[in-house]
Amino acid sequence: MCWSATADLVAGTAIAAIGAASVARTRRVRDLPLAALPLLLGAHQIVESVVWRADGGTGPATVAWAVIALPVLALWVPLSVLCAAPARARRRLALPLAAGVAASAALAYSLATRPVTAQIRGHTLGYSLDLPRPGLLVAAYLLATVGALLLSGDRLLVWLGLLVAGGAAVCAALWRLEFISTWCAFAAVCSVVLLGWSGRPRSDFDDDHARPARA
């Protein structure tokens, strides 16, 4: 959703580099899916640069962009948060995960059976897909992505969830005004937060359990 193909390409490359650094800094295997999220976001931006160069339309790049944005992220985020979360948070994360599974399945089916179209609208790209019960799908998508972060039990991930919620609202408002979208900067900020999160020292013990005392 950046304002040009070049901007998307530069932003995507930078975000992917942050993702590579985040993965390299990760100390626990179960943190890797979440640490790798900036890699996915970076690839998403690079794919959109191709959509810009194609002047939108219904080509493979448009479909790839929609697949990442919709079913993949709806499932990736709650699953990766569940993997990284302390034990005390895993039960309550079942709800965002269930919402993610349902939203991902419905969105994947829609993409398989209906065309998705990209259209240049001023300084942004607009995507159109005929979704059944769009309000319900949006609610499930937000519960899966934002909700998983807010319920993660990790203070930094909770702050990231608040950032995602606020940033999504701002991006949506600016997109409606066909103004320069903040998505590139927003994705970069989220990636930097995850870079900081991935490098924090964490033990294999859950956050809410103290290490057993030594004799």
Q: Is residue 74 part of a domain?
A: yes
Q: Is 147 exposed, middle or buried (0-12, 13-18, 19+ CB in 10 A)?
A: buried
Mean pLDDT of the chain: 85
End-to-end CA separation in angstroms for the chain: 58
pLDDT band, very low/low/confident/very high, at 4 (cuts 50, 70, 90):
confident
In a domain, 109, yes or no: yes
Look at residue 206 and tell me if it is in a domain: no
Residue-wise pLDDT tens digits, 50-97: 999 999 899 999 999 999 999 999 999 999 999 998 888 889 999 999
List the Cα angle 201/94/69 in 5-degree steps.
80
Q: Over 70: is that where the pLDDT of 181 sits?
A: no
Distance of CA 165 to the CA centre of its chain: 11
Domain membership of residue 213 (yes or no) is no
In-domain check, residue 214:
no
Bridge partners, residue 125, by sequence: 120
Per-residue pLDDT tens digits for 22-33: 999 998 999 999
Total domains present in the chain: 1
Residue 32 is predicted with a pLDDT of 95
Residue 205 within a domain: no
**2 band by pLDDT with thresholds 50, 70 and 90:** low
Whole domain around residue 87: which residue ranges? 5-198
pTM (2 d.p.): 0.86
Q: What does the pLDDT look like over 125-169, one tens digit per residue?
A: 888 888 888 889 989 999 999 999 999 988 899 999 998 888 777
161, part of any domain:
yes
Dihedral, 197, 192, 184, 59 alpha carbons, nearest 10: -50
Tell whether 182 is covered by a domain.
Answer: yes
